[in-house]
Structure 1
Amino acid sequence: MKSTLIPELKYLDAATAPAAATLVSVALPTLSPTVVASPLKRALLNGVISLAGKKLVFHYLRTPARIRQAAKQVQLLRETYYGELQVRKIACVAGRYYQEFQKPGWPSPAFTSYLATTLNRLVPFRPDQNTLQMVFMAITKKCPLACEHCFEWDALNQREKLSLANLRTMVANFQSRGVTHIFFSGGEPMVRINDMLEVLRTAKSGTDFWVFTSGFNFTPANAQWLRQAGLTGVSISLDHHEAARHNAFRGSADAYQQAIQAVVNAKEAGLVVALTLCATQAFTTAENLMAYAMMARQLGVTFIHVLEPRAVGHYAQQEVDLSPAQIKLLDEFYLKLNYSGDYHDWPIVHYYGYHQRRMGCSGGADRFLYVDTDGDMHACPFCQKKSGSAFSASFDEALGAVKQGGCHQFPASAI
């Protein structure tokens, strides 16, 4: 593992730092890439995955008329979501191949289940009408940081409500509805490492499990135990390529180093690694975005997960929305990194806002929802309105309430 030195501004208050702040050196490791560089290998792998999908269509639909109907619907969905763009990037981690952040790797039971749910949505072939595929589950109120953008700010470090039994029940409820992605968040979910391990060990197959973490407590041993218990990936919050600015954003002098070390530990354990970036007004410039991408490439991560700030939680009643020019910059960043030939071996960018503005929100239990630190379901982490418990006997009623409420700002596409 190589390392290079990158400049760090030596201060913690990024907003008020002097222009001539002292520069110090921070070691940034150079880790092995996961995104496939060879054009031929990428084409072959994407072709194999496409063929696997077509075989599943034949398996589930069987009749020529239904297969033709599915082909038309899939093409319409692809055009709605991507336009004229074509997914070419692909990454390999621990024997599985990943094209997109929200899509399970192939081959796996989760991949098969994901495609079956998507297909059933377009051309129904089974009695259930389940369309939910992803759940973001906040499993703890505890967190050692004080992050500038935290959407669970008002709940932080209060008495825990969710027991291990509650967590198991919620996971079982969502798995029984065909959910293929469950993301553990918080607070800081790594404070409940032992409970996460127990949940992973008792969960059924067919679901990819991820952890959203700041890097806190993501030690080499914990990374290995999580991987052995069934964790697929980890999304590590890293909100700036400059250490001091990330530390200021997170309210901790150790946040940057913990995040970088978590990347190292996760990759050594064979986990898929994403970096999650909250692209704030202060951060979102073309220079910062490309510097961040270069850092992510050097770290060998698979995904860059870009989030826009929202005026909820710690940001409540603040003017944090990006300008139209900044949103355009994020669109261009997403398109350049994913579809330009100059960046074919750079990390895959997932920018949900790009698609949300074009085909509506897929939250509100349409494709995903959020469960808060009390176990109550919401449309998403940023559209919070309690709709009922995810571990009570009234689970189906609460799930229906979330879906009925939907998203008013970005109505979902019918496809």
Structure 2
Amino acid sequence: LSAPTELHFSFTNKCSAGCTHCYTNSVPDAKEEFTLEDMKKHIDRLADFGVFHIALGGGESLERDDIFEIAAYIRTKNMVPNLTTSGLPMTPEMAKRCNIFGQINVSIDSLIPDPSQPRLAAHLQKSMEALKMLIQHGNKTGINCVINRYNYDQIPAILKFAKENKLADVEFLRLKSSGRATFSIFNNLNCTPEQHRDFWPTLLKYSKKYKQDVKIDCSYVPMMAYHSPDKKLMEKFCVKGCDGGNLLAAADHKGRVKACSFSHEFAGKLEDIRDEWGKNENFLKYVNWSKSAIEPCKSCNYLSLCKGGCHVVAETVNNDFFSPDPECPKVYAYNQRKKAEASQ
């Protein structure tokens, strides 16, 4: 595309939550912040470029006093501002003003308070209160849930909770190694091969049972493709794998842009995104990955849609951006066969 339709903008790195797997490595006392005028210039630039939707994140966007001014300015440029929040700073007054956003998603990874971690239990309570306030004031509200091996079994309960509380949807996100989620943390939290294999049937079963709308991030498409869904139906509903550098782009609190929020490499500055788009190698390697795909991706019927899975996970685990996603059930089975053959 000539411009990304969606830009994920982590425009602040300030956040008091302290999540161990924070992919932006946000901290409570972050100093580097855009001014409101800086933000307006960036928003003007993105509007002129042709971006449709800006997903505001951080850090914790609600810790900025001017968050609603920023969102309102995005609206004046005929773009939609959406918001992801921990919910910790939410107040009734904020909840009233959140109708400026297209949707607000509250990050909740578990419904079960952990008594061994009282601070996190308190965070969960505040996040739940934020959800109630947002719903009470008529906001389109959902949940973002990062799935790991320890909360995987809560998928049914999370979907039931969402339905009971009339949430717009639940978006399940796959764990990636970025920011504070170092390789050791990723390796201790990522789902097991069996969980990845069973993820899609589990989602189908319980989303149907509770009649709850569900979204998955693009890195989960390999887990879906493993079960041979109708390819034409996937194409009809634009179900795709990694679209970094094409439909999607990301920018951080320093104004650096990249193909994906979790990417470890940048493709220049936000000021230059129009010039770099479709030219910078750190965009193009995402867009063109499928052209140099190796087995088992090369011969996979879903390559054109899946696009090799999550390249950030591949780079983390295999130290090779261009290798197949090792957590894809098909790739995992292929690698296991190769290991067995080599040991004979």
Q: TM-score, normalised to structure 1's length?
A: 0.60
2:109 alignment partner in structure 1: 239
Aligned pairs (5 A) from 1:190-269:
190-192=62-64, 194-203=65-74, 204=76, 206-227=78-99, 230-244=100-114, 248=117, 252-269=120-137
| Structure 2 residues not aligned, in runs of 5+ | 226-238, 294-302, 308-344
Cα distance, 1:243 vs. partner?
2.4
Whether contact under 8 Å (1:388, 1:399) holds in the other structure is: no
CA distance in 2, matches of 1:298, 1:353: 28
Structure number with larger C-alpha Rg: 1
Cα displacement string for residues 61-94 of structure 1 (whole angstroms, at most 9, x for unaligned residues)? xxxxxxxxxxxxxxxxxxxxxxxxxxxxxxxxxx
CA distance in 2, matches of 1:165, 1:302: 33
CA distance in 1, matches of 2:7, 2:122: 29
Amino acid at match of 2:48: S
CA distance in 1, matches of 2:250, 2:119: 25
Q: Are residue 385 (structure 1) and residue 265 (structure 2) matched?
A: yes
CA distance in 1, matches of 2:219, 2:263: 14
2:169 alignment partner in structure 1: 303
Please state which structure has a larger fraction of its residues in strand: 1
Amino acid at match of 2:256: D
CA distance in 1, matches of 2:43, 2:114: 37
Aligned pairs (5 A) from 1:14-25:
none
1:326 alignment partner in structure 2: 195
Amino acid at match of 2:160: M
2:59 alignment partner in structure 1: 187
Q: Are residue 397 (structure 1) and residue 245 (structure 2) matched?
A: no
Whether contact under 8 Å (2:84, 2:105) holds in the other structure is: yes
CA distance in 2, matches of 1:396, 1:180: 15
Whether contact under 8 Å (1:296, 1:347) holds in the other structure is: no
Aligned pairs (5 A) from 1:251-290:
252-285=120-153, 288-290=154-156
| Structure 1 residues not aligned, in runs of 5+ | 1-128
CA distance in 1, matches of 2:18, 2:289: 29
Aligned pairs (5 A) from 1:12-411:
129-153=1-25, 157-192=29-64, 194-203=65-74, 204=76, 206-227=78-99, 230-244=100-114, 248=117, 252-285=120-153, 288-318=154-184, 319=187, 320-338=189-207, 340=208, 342-344=209-211, 346-355=212-221, 358=225, 361-390=241-270, 392=271, 394-400=272-278, 401=280, 402-406=282-286
Cα distance, 1:251 vs. partner?
5.0
- Give me the identity figure in percent: 18
Q: CA RMSD in A?
A: 2.8
Cα distance, 1:224 vs. partner?
1.5
Amino acid at match of 1:263: L
